[in-house]
Structure 1
């Protein structure tokens, strides 16, 4: 199953949504998916596993997950102890205000998560209290819709991000970030290599040989942990790279398709539209306008 695009149906002029204290069970969870919005997921109670990018995380009460845009992820709650969580989604330009202090901006924690591939925060009690209070306040503002509630939601969210950023900075200064412990080490190596070089030829046979396991075993474990086959996963990673190049560079579509590992622009166009719903040019124009 290829990763799907999570749809959003809120106000396009205020790209911000909160799914507050929803019960998560495996039967109604999305498979591998990605979206342009940034996401914060807080675990109120329950247990499960979160696959984010190329890592697996155990989920438990009090955990906070920081998921930048265009990051493949899916959740597997335990059926016996289902997750109750709150998920906050927003378009980064909504909160990416010009900082007065060059060393700080609201989205630092997302930059840190992407750079270090560390998407989970095991929060201390004071930050748990801050997070729960902020989510409750945001939920109330969105429910009541009083005058200025859009600004109130932005202010509360920025204050929450400030506390998260300060905590991450303090932890980073004390301890190096370690890798999550879920999943076999050879699979972590494979996913890391695909992530670093999605443009390379990454066939099932080649990857299984490098991992020193049989192709059937590799395929079974890969699909079990990522819910995709190798081709689908590689294409998803290539399109994520293509999105970044479309937004951050002036390269033309042919150059980008080659840099992402596609032999022809036609193949690139077809895969890009299948995964994003847009042509590469339309995606670039939309992001530029935003």
Structure 2
């Protein structure tokens, strides 16, 4: 299964989307996917597992997940007690100029989550009440589209982000990963893939490093992440390639080499398949005319 690119509304002036109180069965859950937007997922009830980047988390009432852009993620709802959650998506540009105070920025919680590789926050009852009120207000504004509704949504989002940032600083200092999810060798393998994209990350090499058979490695990997090893490795390499293309002066060939692609044509093919753009177009900041889902 390849990671897909989630599609969003086409309002370029207000890049914001809401999926409100959605209950999904395992069959309806979106497969492993990538997108450039920040994503917040708040859980009202139910059970499940969330896979983000290279970690697995239990999902339960009151949990909040912070998903930075370009993070491979997927939810696995419990078939008997599926999760009901609200997901908020917004582009970084929406809050790019929100910092009246040099020591604060709304996106800080996402930066902290990515830095610490910790994407789950367990919240208190007062925070849950405030969150549910904010999300209900946003839903109403989107439904009624009264004069100034975009501005109202923006202010509700800013308030929620402020609450999250005040909560996130101490909360993300602790390791909230559930050690019961998956064997230790799998966690180590996921960490190795993230840290060494240029190395041999074939199924046989990873299985040998984990001291398990290739068949067992493949079976457990697919069960836990929803992806096969090759697709996951390619997606992680493309995430790093996107960062290098935008943040360095490296040429496309050097980026392909640093990210472990065997050839430039292979890099072009996988990059276009996952992002919908060629590496050159992405570096120039162009967007596809018809984004695929």
TM-score range, shorter-chain basis?
Answer: over 0.9
2:177 is matched with 179
- What do the CA deviations read for 1:8-50 (whole angstroms, capped 9, x no partner)? 1342221100011111111111111111111000111111111
- What do the CA deviations read for 1:101-147 (whole angstroms, capped 9, x no partner)? 33211001100111111111110111111111111111111111111
- What do the CA deviations read for 1:168-195 (whole angstroms, capped 9, x no partner)? 12335xx533433211110000000101
2:261 is matched with 262
Partners of 1:257 and 1:264 within 8 A in 2: yes
2:228 is matched with 229
1:102 is matched with 102
- Secondary structure of 2:227's counterpart equals coil
**1:172-211 pair list within 5 angstroms:** 176-181=174-179, 182-211=181-210
TM-score of the aligned structures, taking structure 1 as reference length: 0.95
TM-score of the aligned structures, taking structure 2 as reference length: 0.94
Residue 130 of structure 2 corresponds to residue 130 of structure 1: yes
Tell me how far apart the structure 2 counterparts of residues 8 and 176 of structure 1 sit (CA, whole Å): 33
Structure 1: 5+ residue runs without aligned partners? none
1:43 is matched with 43
Residue 20 of structure 2 corresponds to residue 29 of structure 1: no
The Cα shift of 1:199 comes to 1.7
Of 60-69 and 144-153, more deviation after overlay is shown by 144-153
1:242 is matched with 241
Partners of 1:247 and 1:287 within 8 A in 2: no
1:74 is matched with 74
2:60 is matched with 60
- Secondary structure of 2:285's counterpart equals helix
Tell me how far apart the structure 2 counterparts of residues 98 and 148 of structure 1 sit (CA, whole Å): 18
Tell me how far apart the structure 2 counterparts of residues 94 and 245 of structure 1 sit (CA, whole Å): 23
The Cα shift of 1:287 comes to 6.8
- Secondary structure of 1:163's counterpart equals helix
2:290 is matched with none
The Cα shift of 1:267 comes to 1.1
Tell me how far apart the structure 1 counterparts of residues 50 and 97 of structure 2 sit (CA, whole Å): 30
1:83 is matched with 83
Tell me how far apart the structure 2 counterparts of residues 138 and 110 of structure 1 sit (CA, whole Å): 21
The Cα shift of 1:159 comes to 0.9
- What do the CA deviations read for 1:173-224 (whole angstroms, capped 9, x no partner)? xx53343321111000000010111121111111111111111111110111
The Cα shift of 1:239 comes to 0.2
2:139 is matched with 139
- What do the CA deviations read for 1:221-244 (whole angstroms, capped 9, x no partner)? 011111222111110000000111
Runs (4+) of structure 1 moved beyond 3 Å? none
- Secondary structure of 1:41's counterpart equals strand
- Secondary structure of 1:28's counterpart equals coil
Tell me how far apart the structure 2 counterparts of residues 101 and 13 of structure 1 sit (CA, whole Å): 24
Tell me how far apart the structure 1 counterparts of residues 98 and 136 of structure 2 sit (CA, whole Å): 27
**Pair 171,14 (structure 1): closer, same or farther in 2 beyond 3 Å:** same
Structure 2: 5+ residue runs without aligned partners? 288-293
